[in-house]
Amino acid sequence: MTSVLSDRINQMEESATLAMAKKARELKAQGIDIISLSLGEPDFKTPKHIQEAAKASIDEGKYFAYPPVAGYQDLREAIAKKLREENKIADAKAENIVVSTGAKHSIANVFMCMINEGDEVVIFSPYWVSYAEIIKLAGGIPVTIEGSLENNFKATAKQLEEAITDKTKAIIYSSPCNPTGSVFSKEELEAIAEVVKKKENLFVIADEIYELINFTGKHASIASFPGMFERTITVNGFSKGYAMTGWRVGYICAPLFIAKACEKMQGQFTSGGTGIAQRAALAAISGDQTASKEMEKAYLNRRDLVLKLIQEIPGFKTHVPEGAFYFFPDITYFFGKSANGFTINNADDFCIYLLEKANVSLVTGEAFGAPNCVRISYAASEEELVEAMKRIKEACANLK
């Protein structure tokens, strides 16, 4: 039978992070006591002053109509100012900014605007689940370069150089990284920039959405390096650093012709992002940053707590993440082991086993290009984290 649905959608993988979160939600609704460490979503509430700004904007009554496609001018100006002052991206102006319905949407705009059939995009692996699927949707070919556990999962400039072909159009990485929590240093990014600059028309998509959850105290934006502004699309948003996942506001800072292309694309797909959410985003970016700093501190405490607990589980191998809110342990030790007739052959099996036997949901590393690992999100309360790690430890001890 011919499919009613397009090849495009039939060939697309479902988002593994969202799929696992949905499964955990369904089991919870059945009354099962699931601890969900699968979704990368802050458990904090959006800070009060941001909520208040959104409420005030409703009362003002000025933000109910279609917003400008690329975002309200004052928000674009505030973003550009932040990028100039904090990220040292000296050339960032309001005209370079396009505000979208979340950073995921920003990334989709960029790939839809830049990729032709057969263009290659180098992805630093392990990588966030949606990159490869969006690239394929746009007709591109994802090419991965792999970081290793020994190198904190960071692929290198040398690997990038070897992966570049005539067809390479762009590279994409996240730093701090989802799923590994690794942070690229300024020096590492400088080496990457040097490789990029050797090839005409090669662009960098720098996903900096975890910028505000960085325990090194140092965040480097590749767009700030000499000669890189014209080659970089900086992606950022409000979901993580301001606990605003549901408000759906993200943005890019890009060379003008790319920003204009994304505005055109967005004008045909979604129009401007929700007005009230943009007013909240303006309050977030231009207001008091204390709440974000406090959340960052809480994540650091949890990182240390979970690190200690992971180290007590025989068979888990982990590096020490420096940002975001994920651990990405290698769990190959358990491959071939069984409990109650259930054998673990891969990371998918391991996640199913933990979901069923420990009632803890994680995400398989398969979805992030690393089939020997699992992702643990520690954006959860300390009580939940302690209980979850206890359950995981017990379930793993049964595997023989």
Q: Which does 96 bind (CB under 5 to 8 A by kind): ligand PMP, ligand GLU, none?
A: none
Q: Please state the closest distance from residue 197 (CB atom) to ligand PMP, in A.
A: 24
How do beta strands 250-253 and 232-237 pair? Answer: antiparallel
Q: Are 197 and 231 in contact (CB under 8 A)?
A: yes
Q: Does 359 bind ligand GLU (CB under 6 A)?
A: no
Task: Walk across the sheet containing 232-237 and list its strands.
Answer: 97-100, 250-253, 232-237, 203-207, 168-174, 120-125, 141-146
Q: Which residues are near ligand PMP by CB under 6 A?
A: 40, 102-104, 128, 174, 178, 207, 209, 237, 239, 245, 250
Single-letter amino acid code for the residue at 6: S
For the segment 70-109, give every residue that binds ligand GLU (CB under 6 A): 104
Beta-bridged to residue 62, according to DSSP, are none
CB of 155 to ligand PMP, least distance (A): 15
3-class secondary structure, 101: coil
Q: Are 238 and 93 in contact (CB under 8 A)?
A: no
User: Which CB atom, from 163 or from 380, has the smaller least distance to ligand GLU?
Assistant: 380
Is 178 or 266 the residue whose CB approaches ligand PMP more closely? 178
The single-letter DSSP state of residue 100 is: E
Q: Which does 261 bind (CB under 5 to 8 A by kind): ligand PMP, ligand GLU, none?
A: none
Binding mask 130-149 for ligand GLU (x = CB under 6 A): x-------------------
178 contributes a contact to ligand GLU by CB under 6 A: yes
User: 367, 322 in Cβ contact below 8 A?
Assistant: no
Q: What angle do CA 320, 203, 162 make, to 5 degrees?
A: 65
Interface stretch with ligand GLU, choices 22-30, 36-44, 293-301, 354-362 (CB under 6 A):
36-44
Between 40 and 147, whose beta carbon lies closer to ligand PMP?
Answer: 40
- The entry of ligand GLU, ligand PMP, none near residue 129 (CB within 5 to 8 angstroms by kind) is ligand GLU
Show Cβ contacts of residue 381 under 8 Å, excluding neighbours closer than 6 positions: 43
The two structure tokens encoding residue 48: 């009060």
Is 183 an interacting residue with respect to ligand GLU (CB under 6 A)?
no
Piece in contact with ligand GLU (CB under 6 A), picked from 38-46, 64-72, 137-145, 284-292: 38-46
Among left, alpha and beta (phi > 0; psi -120 to 50; other), residue 271 is left
Give residue number: closest CB to ligand PMP. 102
Q: What single-letter amino acid sits at 377?
A: S
Query: Site residues (CB under 6 A) for ligand GLU?
Result: 15, 17-18, 39-41, 104, 128-130, 178
